[in-house]
């Protein structure tokens, strides 16, 4: 997994590298950062040779990286214009050091430097150069950005975005696109026209650690492809676990917790999953949950639905065992006894999909939670029914996984969707502090929080083709199956495995069918292929474990 840092955490990492025990000279770290951009950008632009490039350098250290970039690409044969937004004296020692080198080179005529801080800018000339350029380097503002962009950044960013609209000019962002909040992914101008919009880059080369804001919309949309470079940071700083940590899940993390099946295992080894769900109008939902559980490798699956819906379910999935409970078309408290009689034999319960909104069902859910001891995955209608019951849920939180999408989360937490979106990670952590559960906050991207609220995982898989009814139902079954999986370390690992593999199965369908119309059942049916690809990835020594390539070859 890769660390996802806030601006403060990045600053701390930089400071420790430079002034802690490692004593890396600041000028060297900046040199490494600038050089990393020059090298990594070749994936996009192939070569700097003979390219016309404008490098916009802001007043902080992000601008300092820009000076280094300018020097290196000159050596590679680019024609370079450097716009310097700060005054010499206001730059950090290391940025100024690189700026002076660049001045010396400009004196020899190698490049053109425009001092944009003097107030006598020739914008006519700037527009002309923007028209003629091949590449723009955005070193205006990096992790030091806060609030809304102000001039001259606002003006320059608009000019850059306008010039690049035709798609012929490539925009490369240094560390993070100007105008994207490092911690949250909020953008300057909030996407409104005629405000201080952010840079929309084709590629972002980011340093030391990935930034949280680059994984969340709308910031993610500004980054283009994201390339990471360690810039010579000591490995312990790159890898150490820390307080308030967030991580981006990777193939290797999931492959590590999904142990391969013991050759002498039997159906009892792989868990007994009970899907307790459904109501008259929504009987497809629990069936999709069962399908998710089956494809994720559950040993045995029991579907328990209200009696009046049972005849519809029987035989729909021959692999599962169906029984009608009580006598109605929705669960009620009268049905609890029948469920509890069986529950002792169940490894994990999945509850909620298609359960309806009848208030009698709420008591049923509470009694099932109160009187069982196994892990429970709570989704969909069950979340809506227990929406204000955090005092009831929290004592059982250590064995509960809740899987709300944003609207369900908003109802549960009482925080508006708009407010949650401003900082998804903080909203999710705050929720877990109060509810004590393992949380799967579904969305783009999905965020998983461990029940001690210490660690946040962000999922990189999945695509907008998954925005279709029933996808979440499949995920619920998968998480339940993984929670029962032999050797699964804990509920958080099960939740991460479910979310990652669910998204990867969606990505497989996207590649096969395109973004429209693949179904939740097709996603479920792609799960074994993803798990097989994970096994192959585990056997592959290569660092670059391309899960997707492996799925294609299966
Ligand atoms: N030693 C380090 O700390 C390293 C830092 N590096 C670079 O340094 C960057 C961080 O440097 P800084 O902390 O100097 O910050 P930045 O250079 O990212 O931003 C600070 C500058 O941006 C301006 N600014 C902030 N908000 C603004 C707004 N809303 N509108 C217009 N201008 C705004 C500030 O006035 C200030 O001049 C990183 O993103 C990275 O590119 C790299 O060189 C690697 C090493
Ligand atoms: N744009 C998207 N990008 C990535 N994943 C998505 C996107 N839209 C939806 N998903 C995923 O699809 C699933 C949808 O779940 P949910 O909203 O609960 O659907 P339902 O309730 O209809 O089953 C979630 O896992 C979510 O993360
Ligand atoms: K930048």
Note the CATH architecture for domain 2-240. 3-Layer(aba) Sandwich (3.40)
Tokens of 230: 């360690």
Instruction: Using the mean position of ligand 2's atoms as its centre, give its distance from the Cα of residue 467 in Å.
Output: 5
Instruction: Using the mean position of ligand 1's atoms as its centre, give its distance from the Cα of residue 250 in Å.
Output: 29
Pocket-testing residue among 23, 143, 180, ligand 1, by greatest number of atoms within 8 A of Cβ: 143
The annotation status of 148 as a binding-site residue, yes or no, is: yes
The annotation status of 405 as a binding-site residue, yes or no, is: yes
- 255, 283 contact by CB (below 8 A): no
The annotation status of 354 as a binding-site residue, yes or no, is: yes
Nearest CA to ligand 1 atom 18: 142
- 94, 63 contact by CB (below 8 A): no
CA distances from 333 to 286, 359, 532 (A): 19, 10, 42
Tell me the sheet residues that pair with 56.
Answer: 83, 138
For the chain, the domains span 2-240, 253-257+264-552
Ligand 1 first shell, C-beta below 6 A: 14, 18, 26, 29-30, 33, 58-65, 141-150, 153, 174-175, 207
Tell me the sheet residues that pair with 135.
Answer: 53, 170
Tokens 């579904």: give the residue: 442
Pocket-testing residue among 287, 402, 467, ligand 2, by greatest number of atoms within 8 A of Cβ: 467
- 443, 215 contact by CB (below 8 A): no
- 201, 222 contact by CB (below 8 A): yes
Instruction: Using the mean position of ligand 1's atoms as its centre, give its distance from the Cα of residue 65 in Å.
Output: 10
Q: Which CATH superfamily hosts domain 253-257+264-552?
A: Ribokinase (3.40.1190.20)
Tens of each residue's pLDDT in the chain, 554 residues: 899 999 999 999 999 999 999 999 999 999 999 999 999 999 999 999 999 999 999 999 999 999 999 999 999 999 999 999 999 999 999 999 999 999 999 999 989 999 988 766 788 999 999 999 999 999 999 999 999 999 999 999 999 999 999 999 999 999 999 999 999 999 998 766 667 899 999 999 999 999 999 999 999 999 999 999 999 999 999 988 777 889 999 999 999 898 788 899 999 889 999 999 999 999 999 999 999 999 999 999 999 999 999 999 999 999 999 999 999 999 999 999 999 999 999 999 999 999 999 999 999 999 999 999 999 999 999 999 998 899 999 999 999 999 999 999 999 999 999 999 999 999 999 999 999 999 999 999 999 999 999 999 999 999 999 999 999 999 999 999 999 998 899 999 999 999 999 999 999 999 999 999 999 999 999 999 999 999 888 776 554 456 666 666 66
Angle CA(453)–CA(459)–CA(461) in degrees, nearest 5? 165
Pocket-testing residue among 66, 141, 195, 231, ligand 1, by greatest number of atoms within 8 A of Cβ: 141
Provide the strand spans (E) within 321-451. 321-325, 348-351, 376-378, 400-402, 438-441, 447-449
- 215, 4 contact by CB (below 8 A): yes
- Ligand number nearest to the C-alpha of 173: 3
- 519, 478 contact by CB (below 8 A): no
The atom of ligand 2 lying closest to the CA of 499 is: 25
With H, G, I as helix, E, B as strand and everything else as coil, classify residue 46: coil
Asked whether 75 lines ligand 2 (CB < 6 A), one says no
Instruction: Using the mean position of ligand 1's atoms as its centre, give its distance from the Cα of residue 142 in Å.
Output: 5
Nearest CA to ligand 2 atom 2: 464
CA gap 519, 58 in Å, rounded = 48
Instruction: Using the mean position of ligand 1's atoms as its centre, give its distance from the Cα of residue 462 in Å.
Output: 32
The atom of ligand 1 lying closest to the CA of 207 is: 44
Pocket-testing residue among 14, 144, 173, 187, ligand 1, by greatest number of atoms within 8 A of Cβ: 144
């Amino acid at each position: 997994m890769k660390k996802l840092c806030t601006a403060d955490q990045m600053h701390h990492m930089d400071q420790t590298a430079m002034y802690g025990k490692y004593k890396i000279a600041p000028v060297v770290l900046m040199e490494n950062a600038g050089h990393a951009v020059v090298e990594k950008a070749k994936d996009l632009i192939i070569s700097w040779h003979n390219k016309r490039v404008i490098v916009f350098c802001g007043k902080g250290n992000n601008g300092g990286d820009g000076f280094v970039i300018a020097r290196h690409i000159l050596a590679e044969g680019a024609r370079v214009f450097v716009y310097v937004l700060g005054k010499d004296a206001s730059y950090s020692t290391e940025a100024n050091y690189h700026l002076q080198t660049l001045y010396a080179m400009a004196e020899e005529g190698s490049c053109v430097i425009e001092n944009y801080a003097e107030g006598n800018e020739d914008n006519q000339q700037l527009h002309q150069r923007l028209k003629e350029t091949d590449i723009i380097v955005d070193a205006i503002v990096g992790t030091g950005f806060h609030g809304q962009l102000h001039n001259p950044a606002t003006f320059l960013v608009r000019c850059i975005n306008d010039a690049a609209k035709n798609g012929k000019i490539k925009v490369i962002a240094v560390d993070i696109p100007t105008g994207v909040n490092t911690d949250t992914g909020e953008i300057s101008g909030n996407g409104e026209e005629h405000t201080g919009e952010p840079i929309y880059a084709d590629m972002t080369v980011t340093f030391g650690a990935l930034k949280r804001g680059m994984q969340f919309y709308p910031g993610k949309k500004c980054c283009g492809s994201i390339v990471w470079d360690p810039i010579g940071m000591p490995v312990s700083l790159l890898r150490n676990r820390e307080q308030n940590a967030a991580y981006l899940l990777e193939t290797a993390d999931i492959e590590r917790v999904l142990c391969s099946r013991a050759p002498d295992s039997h159906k009892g080894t792989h868990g007994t999953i009970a899907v307790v769900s459904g109501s008259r109008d929504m009987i497809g939902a629990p069936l999709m949950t069962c399908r998710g559980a089956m494809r994720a490798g559950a040993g045995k699956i029991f579907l328990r639905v209200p009696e009046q819906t049972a005849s519809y379910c029987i035989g729909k999935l021959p692999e599962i065992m169906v029984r009608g409970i009580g006598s109605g078309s929705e669960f009620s408290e009268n049905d609890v006894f029948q469920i509890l009689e069986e529950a002792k034999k169940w490894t994990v319960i999945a509850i909620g999909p298609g359960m309806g909104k009848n208030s009698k069902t709420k008591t049923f859910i509470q009694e099932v939670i109160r009187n069982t001891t196994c892990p429970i995955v709570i989704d969909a209608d069950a979340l809506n029914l227990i929406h204000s019951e955090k005092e009831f849920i929290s004592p059982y939180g250590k064995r509960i996984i809740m899987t709300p999408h944003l609207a369900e989360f908003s109802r549960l937490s009482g925080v508006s969707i708009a407010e949650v979106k401003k900082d998804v990670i903080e909203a999710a952590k705050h929720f877990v502090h109060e509810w004590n559960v393992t949380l799967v906050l579904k969305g783009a991207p999905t965020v998983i929080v461990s029940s001690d609220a210490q660690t946040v995982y962000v999922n990189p898989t999945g695509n907008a083709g998954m925005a279709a009814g029933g996808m979440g139902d499949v995920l619920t079954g998968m998480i339940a199956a993984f929670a029962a999986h032999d050797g699964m370390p804990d509920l958080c690992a099960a939740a991460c495995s479910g979310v990652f593999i669910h998204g990867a199965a969606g990505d497989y369908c996207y590649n096969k069918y395109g973004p429209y119309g693949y179904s939740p059942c097709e996603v479920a049916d792609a799960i074994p292929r993803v798990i097989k690809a994970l096994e192959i990835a585990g056997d592959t020594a290569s660092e670059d474990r391309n899960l997707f390539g492996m799925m294609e070859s299966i």
